[in-house]
């Protein structure tokens, strides 16, 4: 079964298990056809305990918030963890975070590190971290020019975090 069929819908269930999330875990929300900004779903990444970082929409840039408050606004979501996220990867990932927080929101090709949109931001953090560690990594399911939340959701590099 594809990961995109495994959504959580009860934030109360999640709230008691939020400590299961670790730095680098990715939260993907389901598509919302009511808003064009959500037609592809949305994604954010855990940047420290109980804190999620994201590029939510144009004119906002980078935003960081408490994971419980963030999820209260979402209907369906799932959490993913990179299969090879060890301590070495985590250290480099955390080193890369500060340089990605002062950018503007813009939809551009995924290797452009001068501006970000939600899923490209996450893709770029993983791509840059792997490069800094000496290997190539493309967590985009179809390897295209752009990366969507569902490209991350269906990537073989992740498994679902259980609650």
Distances (CA, A) of 71 to 11, 17, 60, 65, 74: 7, 13, 18, 10, 5
Q: Looking at residue 11, what is its pLDDT?
A: 53
> Whole-angstrom Cα distance, residue 53 to residue 65?
7
What pLDDT sits at residue 34?
62
Q: Is 124 left (phi over 0), alpha (psi -120 to 50) or beta?
A: alpha
**What pTM does this model have?**
0.85
Q: What is the CA radius of gyration of the chain?
A: 14
Burial 137-152 (b: 16+ CB within 10 A, else e): bbbbbeeeebbbbbbb
pLDDT value for 2: 46
* Helix/strand/coil for 81: strand
Q: What is the pLDDT along the chain (163 residues), one digit of tens a residue?
A: 344 446 555 555 455 566 688 999 999 887 665 665 555 678 999 999 889 999 887 778 898 988 888 777 766 788 899 999 999 999 999 999 999 999 988 888 888 888 998 999 999 999 999 999 999 999 999 888 889 998 999 999 999 887 5
Predicted confidence at residue 155, as pLDDT, reads 94
């Amino acid at each position: 079964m594809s990961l995109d069929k495994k959504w959580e819908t009860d934030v109360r269930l999640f709230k008691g298990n939020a400590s299961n999330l670790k730095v680098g875990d990715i939260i993907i929300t389901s598509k919302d056809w009511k808003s064009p900004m959500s037609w592809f779903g949305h994604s954010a990444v855990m940047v420290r305990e109980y804190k999620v970082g994201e590029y939510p929409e144009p004119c906002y840039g980078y935003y960081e918030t408490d994971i419980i408050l963030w999820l209260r606004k979402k209907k369906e979501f799932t959490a993913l963890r990179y299969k090879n996220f060890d301590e070495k990867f985590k250290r480099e990932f955390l080193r890369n975070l500060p340089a990605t927080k002062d950018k503007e929101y813009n939809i551009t090709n995924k290797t452009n590190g001068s501006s970000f949109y939600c899923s490209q931001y996450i893709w770029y953090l993983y791509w840059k971290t792997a490069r800094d560690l000496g290997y190539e990594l493309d967590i985009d399911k179809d390897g295209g020019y752009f990366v969507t939340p569902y490209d991350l959701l269906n990537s073989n590099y992740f498994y679902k975090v259980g609650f």
